[in-house]
Amino acid sequence: MRVTGVPVTCRGLVFIYRLDGYDVVALSRVDLDIAAGEAVALVGPSGSGKSTLLSLMAGLLRPSAGSLRVGDHDLSRAGDAELQRMRATELGVVLQGDRNLIPYLSALDNVRFAQRGVPRARRVPAMDLLETVGMSGAAARTPGELTPGGRQRLSVAVGAAVGGGLLLADEPTSQLDAEARESVVAALSAVRDRGSTVVVVTHDPGVAARFGRSVTIRDGRVGAEGRRGEDFLVVGTDGAVHLPAELLTDMPPGTLLRVRRDSGSGELRLSPAETAEVRPT
Ligand SMILES: Nc1ncnc2c1ncn2[C@@H]1O[C@H](COP(=O)(O)OP(=O)(O)OP(=O)(O)O)[C@@H](O)[C@H]1O
């Protein structure tokens, strides 16, 4: 049974954690378009804002400013009831480890339980979901009787059981060995092949490379994108670009850069200005 993927659009998206006495700006003006049925890996240094972005897409946090659309929902305006309905019936979240599994239910009943809020006509048969993630042979087992990779694949099926239009996964392969990691990536790809949009936060470059597109979040913004093995910088709303981390050794923040465009090829060249040419007159 195919599902209809849900598109996600962020425009100038800002999120601020308001703490006692000070604020933490976790996201500052993120612009990002994820098409229906696309698989995207969110990557970037620790603390750059990846999990915050995922939580906003899941409707668990509300934008502080800017806009965020998930399918038909405008999450900057949606009320509590709309967010709650969306979470129960339209999108699935895969948490690290087995936090979205109920330990005393079988794999099959875990999937069925996740579907309780979804209208019957829209439910994908639970057994189909287990088959999609390669777990149909373990339908009667409880999470404790599964391998760590099996548990995580069951978490993917449980996430996909809720609506299936959008699956959000936060570090789904952390603490897994190479074989288990591969099986979880295959499960996420299979969910995507059924039509779902899949967004995954990962620290693992090998996992990110398996998705069609990777988006690097740096300092709360989209800094770069990888598509089909090629890396691209992304120009921000204010015209700023993030240089790749390895160039920052030669060109630390504050470096004056000369920008030249080759008139023949149209290629842009960036070079640090010579000390003599920038000395104050
Ligand atoms: N509940 C919170 N309260 C206050 N600040 C927070 C909270 N959660 C995250 N932050 C801060 O917001 C910023 C972004 O954090 P976030 O967890 O989204 O980054 P991340 O890229 O997912 O990091 P990691 O890869 O380490 O999980 C960081 O500066 C972090 O310290």
- 121-168 per-position pLDDT tens digit: 878 889 999 999 999 999 999 999 999 999 999 999 999 988 678 999
Q: Give buried/exposed letters for 226-239 (b at 16+ CB in 10 A, else e).
A: beeeeeeebebeee
In this structure, are 200 and 269 located in the same domain?
Answer: no
Lowest mean per-residue pLDDT among 54-58, 134-138, 259-263: 259-263
Q: If you measure from the C-alpha of residue 49 to the centroid of ligand 1, how many angstroms do you get, rounded to a whole number? A: 6
Q: If you measure from the C-alpha of residue 220 to the centroid of ligand 1, how many angstroms do you get, rounded to a whole number? A: 10
Domain membership of residue 124 (yes or no) is yes
Domain with 153 in it: what CATH number?
3.40.50.300
Q: Which residue range(s) make up the domain with 260?
A: 250-278
What is the number of structural domains in the chain? 2
Which ipTM value was assigned to this complex?
0.96
In this structure, are 101 and 182 located in the same domain?
Answer: yes
d(C-alpha 107, C-alpha 130), whole Å: 8
- Candidate of 24, 27, 28, 174 to mutate for ligand 1, largest count of ligand atoms within 8 Å of Cβ: 24
**Does ligand 1 have an atom closer than 6 angstroms to the CB of 17?**
yes
* 97-134 pLDDT, tens digit each: 677 899 999 999 999 999 888 888 878 889 999 999 99
Q: If you measure from the C-alpha of residue 108 to the centroid of ligand 1, how many angstroms do you get, rounded to a whole number? A: 34
**Does ligand 1 have an atom closer than 6 angstroms to the CB of 26?**
yes
d(C-alpha 121, C-alpha 31), whole Å: 35
Q: What is the pTM of this model?
A: 0.89
In this structure, are 159 and 74 located in the same domain?
Answer: yes
